[in-house]
Structure 1
């Protein structure tokens, strides 16, 4: 467990308050650099000065979800007395250790069930602007199983130097964050369970709304952003009534609008989330909820994936009212501007998600014709047998990430909201040499300006002038979107909204505006998903290409 930081009393409290007042009044640079202090409603925090930016790390936003609070919604944290030290990141939420050398593996010196903390990077002059600086809240990826806000690649200082306040958050992962169970539902006042990690994210956004003005941020101009499972989380937040009004724009990098388990019934090929939780408890030898809560948290996190548990949100009628695709079809999602996109090589670093490569072109074509029927010609035109290796990984890329990004752009446009679509198609020597051109998450160090702080197994981006120019352009577009809802960058081409021309920005060796992303891609996968929805017993996620179930005939009815 993370040790609690002691609070300062007496002289320490007086000194902290004096420092905060001195900063607010424009104290001398030596004092400001040594100890930036913020008096927030949650309590006073002392951070670290980083030149033009002040950083505050490891700030708790909810009570520790341990003991009897395990598998409960996040509880408010009482304001602390004195000045809390906020120079170090909090522990990462408990998670399985990734194997050394894995491209996404990062060193996590501390893991704890007590992990609901966030970090803030703020321009030092943010508080002097009339309404405060725009805010970006970053949600990390990791399949809802791994990851942490302490990842060096997510350092918010470079973006903060562009005039925005950056917040990154931890949220409960794996079985501790996403378990549903009949006993948990029974004890809940709302008769729901699961979605605890999503409720953590909502609690963090609520904390931002109540506290960010003290750091110079504008609580009326908040953008929620995330990549991969962080992008999925943003989809959940856009669909959840409980998050409405907590953010005003959304950035979704490599999000995936997959089918999601429903709480109490089997649907779309998914076992009900409660039934899956009960089956997990049985496999773990737990006789009931008390036994589950008594289990060692680290052992539970290690055993649950081996017993078949996979974390996802649960459609419960309250936190998540209905399937995400249906929310967007009904126009019930958050009516906010979006910036959404994906990477050309998403699956190059995630090949376990791709179907197996067929033995021959003839076998491939036969399998596709058997499974896709009247859509087979369209499928083979997009994913031809002439290059089986590329076609196999492109099917999963588009079914998950490409279709989702364009669907987001279309649905927000239909709501009358600005929507900006992108394709990250940039490679560099170290990645391309490993056949990892524009791999999953490779845009992140360009967004954050952290190409020198990637994980140990990550192909190292060069620190050349070309890479620097591209990174500065991407940071400029993202920061402008956070500020105004429209991406723009100095000395770079205009980024038009998706609109009727299906415009998008291609990030290659430089930003290039284009139209008509991968003609036919969206229409094919939208048709596939529509048919699976109509049939009602098949998921739409990783079961594509040669591992797709046979598609039902076209129908206009949906269940």
Structure 2
């Protein structure tokens, strides 16, 4: 090799030796010169870059793993983001899903706000594997009751047998009871479950809505800043907001948004037929089941706002800002539970004291309800014309009779109490009541006949007969079919009050139908008989048929042609309690019907 060929590298250059394969001559290839420190620095940068890329790859993998549901879980995408729920092997559950902005702080006593519209959707995947808090409430209903729950409670849960069924499944939306004051959409034994979804091949939704003063306080000072210039009925607005959520999202859970049934028991039943009358709920549901709802419902907003001034005085507040700064406990303790308007309404399971009434909780506010419900049925186009079921149990008040020793009564005790309590209404009423509700009436448990007679009498005047009138008004107004049922089944044993019930109920008590539908009979009875199971299957099958088809099967004709009597078998009769109801209607007892 010629030494002259070698050139001293200029600054910032270096020579790199390359030997071609098969050649002995070494060629010099000119390259930029880099100092040893820079070479080392570049190598470090290369290693750092590799490390960063590796970390990014790991992070991506971890993110992928985090976004991939582990076994036993499932994810769906709603209009407000992704939800992660549970897959139990046979059904899916998504619990504690927020459907509105939390109504706290300045949002207390205002209509619910849509999460997406308010820019409050969550980021990432929302954990919908467990229920959240119940709405703020007090139990028992008094200023000294135990306070539970939160204001941040507007959540719902969904239970589905399939997220991608061959054909969209019917949807049933459960609205819980509790006087509009208490309980939740997640009560054990009386709310939807995965098992029920599988058994019926139906998608179920249950929801929480604002209760008591938080959900229904009507006061003129609360109109300040209101977009509706009204007050009260916030709980009903929550229910409507939840139904709007169902319409937008239920398809991702396998449900059919065009086949939604709303159903509720007690104040949940009251909510159902309120929604039937509300123009705000137009088109949000397609069938309705009212189980033991109230009948009296015509108080004006102005009347309610005046009646509720006692609440305002007890808080010590004079304006809305002060009210919104009160604690949950302060609000609940200021509610007039025992003084008029007497929101506790603790005498509803007994013969009414003459001319003693309770003030309204739900009101005709001009927003949710533009006119009283029965007037709405006189104005075609104002109400929701959907297939409608009205149900009651024969001994509604047996779930919590005022006299707790009623199970020990003799026939003489029964006669004395009826005479004593009905005497202010006149001797003719007393005599006719004792004739119609007598010891010869059918009584499956002979030693408990006085209890059965008394609770039947009170239930007729307070619930069953008024609901006959409600069903009759519905049948006259609706083009859709209307159905009426009365549960006559007597459980195989008394309900265990230590578990859930407030009393050892023995007959067709308030909640018997909802407990049967949700599989809660065994919880309150301990064990169930074949007759109990037959009743449970009968009621469940008919409800599901109604949700799927929008009508009852042929053996259950429309009302008022027939009323269905639900025992362990289905029987029908034409106006079976006509004579009994005539007594209470003609003597103006319907004004004492259950309220709320």
Q: TM-score scaled by structure 2?
A: 0.74
| Counterpart secondary structure, 1:138 | strand
Query: Which among 420, 428, 452 is matched to residue 483 of structure 2?
Result: 420
- 8 Å CA contact 1:235–1:257 kept in 2: the answer is no
Matched, 1:400 2:462: yes
Query: Which among 543, 549, 565 is matched to residue 484 of structure 1?
Result: 549
C-alpha distance in 1 between matches for 2:176 and 2:452: 28
C-alpha distance in 2 between matches for 1:277 and 1:63: 27
C-alpha distance in 2 between matches for 1:359 and 1:353: 12
| Counterpart secondary structure, 2:110 | coil
Offset, 1:370: 5.5
Offset, 1:495: 3.6
Query: Which among 304, 308, 312 is matched to residue 273 of structure 1?
Result: 304
- Equivalent residues in 2 for 1:77-476 (5 A)? 77-78=115-116, 79-98=121-140, 111-124=149-162, 126-130=163-167, 132-153=168-189, 154-161=191-198, 162-264=200-302, 272-306=303-337, 308=339, 310=343, 312-328=361-377, 330=379, 332-352=382-402, 361=415, 364=418, 368=422, 371=425, 381-383=435-437, 390=452, 392-414=454-476, 415-431=478-494, 434=504, 436-452=506-522, 454=523, 459-476=524-541
| Counterpart secondary structure, 1:200 | helix
Change (3 A) 1:289 1:307: farther
Change (3 A) 1:198 1:385: same
| Counterpart secondary structure, 1:148 | coil
C-alpha distance in 2 between matches for 1:243 and 1:221: 15
Q: Which residue of 2 aligns with 1:554?
A: none
| RMSD of aligned alpha carbons | 3.3
Matched, 1:505 2:564: yes
- 8 Å CA contact 1:185–1:193 kept in 2: the answer is yes
Matched, 1:65 2:65: no
C-alpha distance in 2 between matches for 1:500 and 1:281: 45
- 8 Å CA contact 1:195–1:313 kept in 2: the answer is yes
Change (3 A) 1:471 1:10: farther
| Counterpart secondary structure, 2:485 | strand
Structure possessing the higher radius of gyration over alpha carbons: 2
228-237 or 436-445: bigger deviation: 436-445
C-alpha distance in 2 between matches for 1:388 and 1:473: 29
Q: TM-score scaled by structure 1?
A: 0.78
Q: Which residue of 2 aligns with 1:553?
A: none
C-alpha distance in 2 between matches for 1:363 and 1:449: 36
C-alpha distance in 1 between matches for 2:519 and 2:417: 45
Change (3 A) 1:495 1:330: farther
Any stretches of 5+ residues in structure 1 without a counterpart? Answer: 1-8, 20-30, 100-104, 265-271, 489-493, 533-538, 544-559
Matched, 1:541 2:593: yes
Q: Which residue of 2 aligns with 1:496?
A: 556
Offset, 1:385: 9.6
Q: Deviations over 1:195-246 (max 9, x none)?
A: 0011111111111111111111111111000000100111211111111111
Change (3 A) 1:97 1:484: same
- Using CA pairs under 8 Å that are at least 6 residues apart, name the structure with larger relative contact order, 1 or 2: 1
C-alpha distance in 2 between matches for 1:465 and 1:376: 39
Matched, 1:518 2:585: no
| Counterpart secondary structure, 2:139 | coil
Aligned length in residues: 488
| Counterpart secondary structure, 1:437 | coil
Q: Which residue of 1 aligns with 2:14?
A: none
Q: Deviations over 1:256-296 (max 9, x none)?
A: 111343111xxxxxxx1111232211122223222211111
Any stretches of 5+ residues in structure 2 without a counterpart? Answer: 1-58, 344-359, 441-448, 497-503
Change (3 A) 1:128 1:432: closer
C-alpha distance in 2 between matches for 1:380 and 1:325: 32
| Counterpart secondary structure, 1:443 | helix
- 8 Å CA contact 2:484–2:559 kept in 1: the answer is no
Q: Deviations over 1:64-111 (max 9, x none)?
A: 011111000011113322111111011000111349xxxxx9x99x72
Q: Which residue of 2 aligns with 1:27?
A: none
Offset, 1:377: 6.9
C-alpha distance in 1 between matches for 2:135 and 2:417: 45
362-371 or 135-144: bigger deviation: 362-371
- 8 Å CA contact 2:230–2:365 kept in 1: the answer is yes
Offset, 1:418: 1.5
C-alpha distance in 1 between matches for 2:104 and 2:88: 34
Offset, 1:497: 2.4
C-alpha distance in 2 between matches for 1:428 and 1:243: 37
